[in-house]
């Protein structure tokens, strides 16, 4: 390309008149042609224009992010208390209070940063691809590598990867709501429009970020990245919206309520202390401040977010990419998973095993997509060239095909649909290569395969320029179009019974079915349309394609069953195929399978009645998926539904967890989903459910740890005030405990891995309140145990002649020790931690305990601490007593778990 050319392209992209430019001007200004750009030129333009990526949305600066950590009612109360103590001149208390707030803000700040980074890395996993023509060859590239002048091929389901001027369209409909707000899809043409036409009227353009919901097209990239219309309005298509979920909001509300209750409670204590007991108001006030500080779970908001974000990250590592955070929680309560079959439950590595023609049945061997293998009849190898009908059928499979086989490092790979890959490999076995066939019989037009109509048709000219139309698709569909069949003596009347029998026989083996037919005729209009494929065909052959189930899917289905989750297979495939594969996966065994046709005859009430009794829905259309989700939800189920096509979007949106396929899924499906499977694998859904349950568990564990520890501290002080005892903890000591333990200890629980038996429980009922009766009980029990240990020790020591300072130092250490022990208890809500894994399995727990222990040694022995907090050194014997008080909580908690495990409350508590 000349320098001039560069300039033209460069300047051209600055102007916004592309919608008004005609085809020739377009190619000239962008210096491109029908073969697309050369790779070298594309690389040069990439260096000039940069990557086709939108700048991420503006982030809050670190300072603002830090300041926002304080924006929480719990911390406001703490800061208010700090201010008042400062006014009263209690500087140490002010410093400790402020220290606690600061520590929490810092933890929150760092963890939130990590959480955002985790979500960012997940965002990049969702980057889109684009199909381009470069050097005349079709290629899949990362959409970020598109440059002005590239020719992009669009198909239904794609997200438009850059601003395109359309040069070829076939029934193209694009949903442009992101740009125009118009939710009805816009029909596109290749026509230029007036220069001042509004965005919605520029029919010859497809804009970046919009979604192709129907048809196909070819367009030239006219603007990328920030130059696109989307870039101009600077709207990042966000994959994960914000760090909030219903559960987090529930906890937030709870936090606010708790703050109010604590304040009211403190006021009451103040009145009781001063009025009833006649304690000095200033002392009482300091005590109440300390009480409030210790009761408020100030670490709660930050830690909840972290737990959730860590869960999302863990899921991403296992190929489940969460697009909407609430899905993490919902996953934990899923009761039914509706899964596609092909590629999700099966391997999607297809190989043709059998070709049935009117007169012969051919078996084909060879594995994978390698074009090597023998053809045999009744177990004796034959020369396929002798069989003209077989050859024509296989040619139909090669021509009526949008896939492409490539050999990379000696291995054959398919670009496109694996079903079509199997047909190309079959062609190779008969010596019919794709390039030669296409050159000899050039394609004139096509109707692409869509799950709704279940066939594909192509129009070709043969070597004598005669028109041929080939169709391939689901046998029922193709048989309906045929009136004849081709045998070696030419056309004969169709023997539909023969084909149906053969189809059932192939399907019963669990093989996928495809039929081929042809007619030697020209289309009625200029190109192929649906009227051309209605009738008049000759049936050529039936093909049986093997697609074995995934090994890991078999295990995952069994795991789901153990976890009380029903697995349903919803497939476009033949009922017999689905049943045979279902039997291998243990889905729908001993139950009837229902077809889409039968489903169509049922009204919603009838469907609701049978929906839980049937596990296999075959030949189901995407619209029926939506009906199934609705029926299941009306039955009270929490449904995860997989999908990949454009028409799956409504069902994905409606499902409680919409799961899109990352590899074969369209952008439209991904957009509608809550979670994307990077590997299209059913086993990934099961592991996401497992992680979802673990996240929910960890949130519960964290709350179950935090509330009793706060409760215990408050109870000690309160009891002393109420019973007129010497205060076992001074205000500043309460604040110290709070500073050392709040947040830092509990944070370790966010790293807790899933419990071993997590997939052996029933799903959690949806909408179940987090803070159940069991929670209240556990909080009370631990608070009482903690208070008993510390207070008892304190009183015992005083009684036996210890100094007040010593007794208080022991009380402080006893509370902290109890919290450290209880942290270990909290690793499992009901399970025993009295084993190696339970005691040592989470190194963050051990680290947190070690850190706390160091701080307590400093507190006890450092002279400056003696001055500030009134602490004193302890003897080994005294330390043993401190540990004993701590152990009281540990043993008490384990005993309680044991008792509960043995009662009928276990399952309710476990959830
Ligand atoms: P699932 O919904 O479980 O992924 P599926 O992939 O079999 O199942 P579809 O892709 O809708 O569902 O296919 C339905 C039927 O359409 C297949 O059984 C097959 O007969 C036919 N078919 C599949 N792919 C093609 C294709 N590329 N061209 C023509 N017909 C096809």
Same domain, 598 and 496: no
> Which residue's C-alpha comes closest to atom 1 of ligand 1?
571
CA 535 / ligand 1 centre spacing (Å): 21
pLDDT of residue 553: 94
Mean pLDDT computed over 153-181: 87
**pLDDT higher at 126 or 702:** 702
Within a domain: 175: yes
β-strands 593-595, 351-356 pairing: unpaired
The predicted structure's pLDDT at residue 856: 94
Residues 894 and 857 in one domain: yes
Helix (H/G/I), strand (E/B), else coil: 880: helix
Q: CA 305, CA 321: separation in Å to the nearest integer?
A: 17
Band (pLDDT 50/70/90 cuts) for residue 593 is very high
Domain count, the chain: 4
| 219: in domain | yes
* 616 in the same domain as 737: no
- Give the residue whose CA is nearest to atom 29 of ligand 1: 473
Cβ of 340 below 6 Å from ligand 1: yes
DSSP string across 410-429? TEEEEES-HHHHHHHHHHHH
Decide: 238 and 120 in contact? Cβ < 8 Å: no
CATH of residue 630's domain is: 3.40.50.1000
How distant, in Å, are the alpha carbons of 11, 20, 165, 390 from that of 196? 20, 9, 16, 57
Query: With a 6 A CB cut-off, is 338 part of the ligand 1 pocket?
Result: no
Q: Which residue has the tokens 């029998």?
A: 501
Q: Provide the pLDDT confidence category of residue 911 given band limits of 50, 70 and 90.
A: very low
Evaluate if residue 237 carries a pLDDT over 60: no
Pair 809, 709 in one domain: yes
C-alpha to C-alpha distance for 830 and 782, rounded to whole angstroms: 14
> Mean of the pLDDT values across residues 444-461?
89
- The first and second tokens of residue 672, run together, are 């509608």
Distance in Å, CA 450 to ligand 1 centroid: 8
- The 10 Å CB-count burial string (b at 16+, else e) for 88-100 is eebeebbbbbbbb
843 in the same domain as 722:
yes
The CATH number linked to 154 is: 2.70.150.10
User: Measured between alpha carbons, how far is 2 from 9 in angstroms, rounded to an integer?
Assistant: 11
Two tokens at 856? 């307590």
Burial environment of residue 760 by CB neighbours within 10 A (0 to 12, 13 to 18, 19 or more): exposed
Is residue 19 within 8 A of residue 165, CB to CB? The reply is yes
Cα 65 to chain centroid, rounded = 27
698 and 825 assigned to the same domain: yes
Give the CA count within 13 Å in the CB-facing half-sphere of 459.
19
Predicted confidence band at 10 (pLDDT cuts at 50, 70, 90)?
A: very low
Least confident of 367-371, 525-529, 869-873: 525-529
Coarse DSSP helix, strand, coil percentages of the chain, rounded to the nearest 5 percent: 50, 15, 30
Beta strand residue intervals within 368-416, DSSP E: 375-377, 380-382, 404-408, 411-415
C-alpha pair distances (Å), 489 with each of 388, 492, 493, 539: 10, 8, 12, 14
Specify the DSSP element, H or E, that contains 270. helix 246-271
Distance CA 539, CA 275 (A): 99
Return contacts of 193-199, CB within 8 angstroms, 24+ apart: 193/19, 193/20, 194/20, 195/17, 195/19, 195/20, 197/19, 197/20, 199/229
pLDDT surpassing 80 at residue 363: yes
Ligand 1 centre distance from Cα of residue 572 (Å): 6
Look up 648 and say whether it is catalytic: no
Q: Write down which residue in 645, 666, 687 finishes a domain.
A: 687
The string of pLDDT tens digits covering residues 141-161 is 888 999 999 999 998 888 899
The average pLDDT across 776-785 equals 92
Summary mean pLDDT of the chain: 86
Most confident listed range (82-96, 240-254, 288-302):
82-96
State whether the beta carbon of 648 lies less than 6 angstroms from ligand 1. Answer: no
Q: Indicate if 442 and 462 belong to the same structural domain.
A: yes
Q: Most confidently modeled of 110-124, 271-285, 629-643?
A: 629-643
Q: Which residues lie below 8 Å from residue 399, measured CB to CB, with a gap of 6+?
A: 437, 438, 441, 443, 458, 460, 470
Q: Which helix (H) or strand (E) holds 545?
A: strand 537-546
Which of the following is catalytic: 340, 532, 644, 697?
340
Average pLDDT over residues 497-524: 92
What is the average per-residue pLDDT within 504-527? Answer: 89
Atom 24 of ligand 1: nearest residue by CA position: 419
pLDDT confidence tier of residue 510, bands split at 50, 70 and 90: confident
Question: Does the pLDDT of residue 767 top 80, yes or no?
Answer: no
Mean pLDDT of 781-786: 94
Q: By three-state DSSP, how is residue 209 classified?
A: coil
**Per-residue pLDDT at 360 exceeds 90:** yes
Instruction: Name the residue with the closest Cα to ligand 1, atom 12.
Output: 572
- Are 371 and 416 in a shared domain? yes
Same domain, 373 and 341: no
CA distances from residue 298 to 125, 436, 721, 766, 815 in whole angstroms, order as listed: 34, 72, 24, 28, 18
pLDDT at 245 over 80: no
Q: Does residue 111 lie in a domain region? A: no
| Structure confidence at residue 244 as a pLDDT band (50, 70, 90) | low
SS3 168: strand
Nearest to 554 by CA among 642, 686, 665: 686
Ligand 1 pocket residue status of 900, Cβ below 6 Å: no
Q: Please state the rounded mean pLDDT for residues 709-733.
A: 83
Q: Which residues fall within 8 angstroms of residue 613, CB to CB, at 6 or more apart?
A: 591, 592
Tens digit of each residue's pLDDT (9 = 90 or more) over 627-660: 999 999 999 899 999 998 888 888 998 999 999 9
Distance 127 CA to ligand 1 centre (A): 26
Mean local confidence (pLDDT), 444-472: 90
Residue from 847, 700, 697 nearest 300 by CA: 700
**What's the rounded mean pLDDT across residues 600-623?**
92
- Asked, for residue 65, whether it belongs to a domain, the answer is no
The atom of ligand 1 lying closest to the CA of 619 is: 14
Q: What is the pLDDT of residue 784?
A: 94
Q: Are residues 657 and 731 in the same domain?
A: no
pLDDT over 90 percentage in the chain: 43
What are 809's two structure tokens? 């130092």
Report the nearest-CA residue for atom 13 of ligand 1: 572
The confidence band for 294, taking pLDDT boundaries of 50, 70 and 90, is confident
* pLDDT (mean) for 268-297: 80
- 59 DSSP assignment: P
In the predicted model, what is the mean pLDDT of residues 770-775? 78
| Higher-pLDDT residue of 47, 125 | 47
pLDDT for residue 647: 83
Q: Are 629 and 727 found together in one domain?
A: no
At 744, which CATH number? 1.20.1110.10
The encoded tokens of residue 291 equal 């009480």
Question: Is the CB of 449 inside a 6 Å radius of any atom of ligand 1?
Answer: yes
Shared domain for 41 and 174, answered yes or no, is yes
- Residue 810's pLDDT is 95
Q: Is the CB of 175 under 6 A from ligand 1?
A: no
Residues found in the chain: 911
On whether residue 114 sits in a domain, the answer given is no
Its pTM stands at: 0.79
Q: Tokens 């070696």 sit at which residue?
A: 488
Residue 173 has pLDDT above 60, yes or no: yes
**pLDDT for res 58:** 63
Domain that holds residue 784: 247-316+689-910
What's the 571 CA to ligand 1 centre distance in angstroms? 8
Q: How is residue 482 annotated by DSSP?
A: E
Angle at 537 between CA 420 and CA 437, to 5 degrees: 40
Which of 687, 715, 746 is the last residue before a domain boundary? Answer: 687
pLDDT band at 873 (very low <50, low <70, confident <90, very high): very high
Mean of pLDDT values over 57-72: 77
Give the dihedral sign, CA 472/478/482/487: positive
* Spacing, Cα 454 to ligand 1 middle (Å): 6
What average pLDDT does range 214-232 have in this prediction? 87
Instruction: Give the count of alpha carbons within 13 A of 575, CB side only.
Output: 15
Residue 299 domain-assigned?
yes
147 and 227 Cβ atoms separated by less than 8 Å: no
CATH of the domain at 499: 3.40.1110.10
Pocket perturbation via mutation, ligand 1, pick of 397, 457, 573 by most ligand atoms within 8 A of CB: 573
750: tokens are 């966010």
pLDDT at 177 over 80: no
> Which letter does DSSP use for residue 279 in this model?
-
60 inside domain: no
Q: Tell which of 492, 519, 546 closes a domain.
A: 546
Is residue 896 situated within a structural domain?
Answer: yes
- At 677, is the pLDDT very low, low, confident or very high (cuts 50, 70, 90)? very high
CA–centroid distance, residue 651 to ligand 1 (Å): 18
Cβ partners under 8 Å of residue 525, min gap 6: 532
Q: What residue owns the CA closest to ligand 1's atom 20? A: 474
């Amino acid at each position: 390309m000349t320098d001039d050319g560069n300039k033209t392209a460069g300047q051209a992209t600055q102007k916004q008149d592309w919608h008004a430019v005609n085809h020739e001007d377009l190619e000239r200004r962008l210096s491109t042609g029908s073969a697309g750009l050369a790779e070298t030129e594309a690389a040069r333009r990439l260096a000039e224009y940069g990557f086709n990526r939108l700048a991420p949305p503006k982030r809050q600066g670190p300072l603002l992010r830090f300041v926002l950590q304080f924006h929480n009612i719990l911390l406001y109360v703490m800061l208010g208390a700090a201010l008042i103590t400062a006014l009263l001149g209690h500087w140490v208390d002010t410093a400790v209070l402020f220290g606690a707030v600061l520590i929490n803000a810092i933890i929150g700040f760092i963890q939130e940063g990590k959480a955002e980074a985790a979500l960012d890395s997940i965002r990049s996993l969702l980057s889109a691809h684009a199909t381009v023509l470069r050097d005349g060859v079709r290629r899949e590239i990362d959409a970020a590598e598109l440059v002005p002048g590239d020719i992009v091929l669009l198909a239904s389901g794609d997200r438009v990867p850059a601003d395109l001027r359309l040069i070829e369209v076939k029934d193209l409909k694009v949903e442009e709501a992101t740009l125009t707000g118009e939710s009805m899809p816009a029909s596109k043409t290749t026509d230029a429009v007036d220069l001042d036409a509004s965005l919605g009227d520029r029919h010859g353009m497809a804009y970046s970020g919009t979604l192709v919901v129907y048809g196909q097209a070819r367009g030239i990239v006219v603007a990328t990245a920030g130059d696109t219309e989307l870039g101009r309005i600077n709207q990042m298509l966000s994959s994960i919206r914000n760090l909030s979920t219903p559960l987090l909001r529930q906890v937030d509300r709870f936090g606010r309520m708790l703050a109010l209750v604590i304040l009211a409670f403190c006021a009451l204590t103040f009145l009781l202390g001063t009025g009833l007991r006649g304690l000095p108001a200033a002392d009482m006030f300091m005590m109440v401040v300390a009480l409030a500080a210790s009761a408020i779970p100030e670490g709660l908001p930050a830690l909840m977010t972290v737990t959730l974000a860590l869960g999302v990250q863990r899921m991403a590592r296992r190929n489940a990419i969460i697009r909407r955070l609430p899905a993490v929680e919902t996953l934990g309560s899923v009761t039914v998973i509706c899964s596609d079959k092909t590629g999700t439950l099966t391997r999607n590595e297809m190989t043709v095993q059998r070709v049935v023609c009117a007169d012969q049945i051919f078996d084909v061997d060879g594995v994978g997509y390698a074009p090597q293998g023998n053809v045999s009849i009744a177990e004796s190898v034959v020369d396929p060239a002798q069989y003209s009908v077989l050859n024509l059928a296989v040619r139909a499979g090669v021509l009526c095909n949008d896939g492409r086989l490539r050999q990379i490092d000696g291995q054959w790979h398919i670009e496109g649909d694996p079903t079509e890959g199997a047909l190309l490999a079959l062609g190779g076995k008969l010596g019919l290569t794709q390039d030669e066939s296409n050159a000899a019989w050039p394609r004139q037009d096509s109707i692409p395969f869509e799950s709704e109509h279940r066939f594909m048709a192509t129009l070709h000219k043969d070597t004598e320029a005669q028109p041929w139309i080939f169709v391939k698709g689901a046998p029922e569909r193709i048989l309906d179009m045929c009136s004849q069949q081709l045998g070696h003596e030419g056309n004969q009347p169709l023997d539909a019974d023969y084909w149906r029998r053969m189809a059932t026989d192939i399907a019963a083996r669990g093989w996928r079915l495809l039929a081929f037919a042809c007619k030697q005729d020209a289309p009625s209009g200029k190109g192929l349309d649906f009227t051309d494929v209605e009738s008049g065909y000759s049936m050529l052959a039936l093909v049986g394609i093997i697609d074995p189930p995934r090994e890991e899917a078999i295990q995952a289905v069994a795991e789901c069953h153990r976890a009380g989750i029903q697995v349903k297979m919803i497939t476009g495939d033949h009922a017999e195929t689905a049943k045979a594969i279902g039997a291998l996966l243990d889905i729908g065994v001993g139950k009837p399978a229902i077809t889409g046709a039968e489903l169509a005859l049922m009204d919603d009430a009838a469907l609701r009645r049978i929906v839980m009794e049937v596990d296999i829905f075959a030949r189901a259309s995407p619209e029926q998926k939506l009906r199934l989700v609705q029926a299941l939800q009306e039955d009270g189920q929490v449904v995860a539904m997989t999908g990949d096509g454009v028409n799956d979007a409504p069902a994905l949106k409606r499902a409680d967890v919409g799961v899109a396929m990352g590899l074969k899924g369209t952008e439209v499906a991904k957009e509608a989903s809550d979670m994307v499977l990077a590997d299209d694998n059913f086993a990934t859904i099961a592991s996401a459910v497992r992680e979802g349950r673990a996240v929910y568990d960890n949130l519960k564990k964290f709350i179950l740890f935090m509330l009793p520890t706060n409760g215990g501290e408050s109870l000690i002080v309160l009891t002393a005030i109420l019973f007129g005892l010497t205060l076992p903890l001074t205000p500043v000591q309460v604040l110290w405990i709070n500073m050392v333990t709040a947040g830092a200890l509990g944070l370790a629980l966010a790293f807790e891995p899933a419990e071993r038996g997590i997939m052996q429980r029933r799903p959690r009922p949806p909408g179940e309140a987090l803070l159940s009766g069991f929670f209240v009980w556990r909080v009370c029990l631990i608070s009482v145990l903690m208070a008993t240990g510390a207070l008892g020790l304190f009183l015992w020591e005083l009684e036996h002649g210890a100094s007040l300072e010593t007794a208080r130092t022991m009380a402080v250490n006893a509370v902290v020790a109890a919290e450290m022990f209880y942290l270990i208890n909290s690793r499992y809500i009901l399970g025993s931690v009295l084993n190696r894994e339970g005691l040592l399995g989470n190194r963050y727990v051990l680290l947190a305990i070690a850190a706390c222990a160091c701080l307590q040694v400093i507190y006890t022995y450092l002279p400056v601490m003696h001055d500030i907090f009134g602490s004193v050194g302890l003897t080994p014997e005294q330390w043993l007593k401190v540990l004993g008080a701590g152990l009281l909580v540990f043993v008490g908690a384990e005993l309680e778990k044991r008792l509960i495990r043995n009662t009928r409350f276990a399952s309710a508590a476990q959830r």
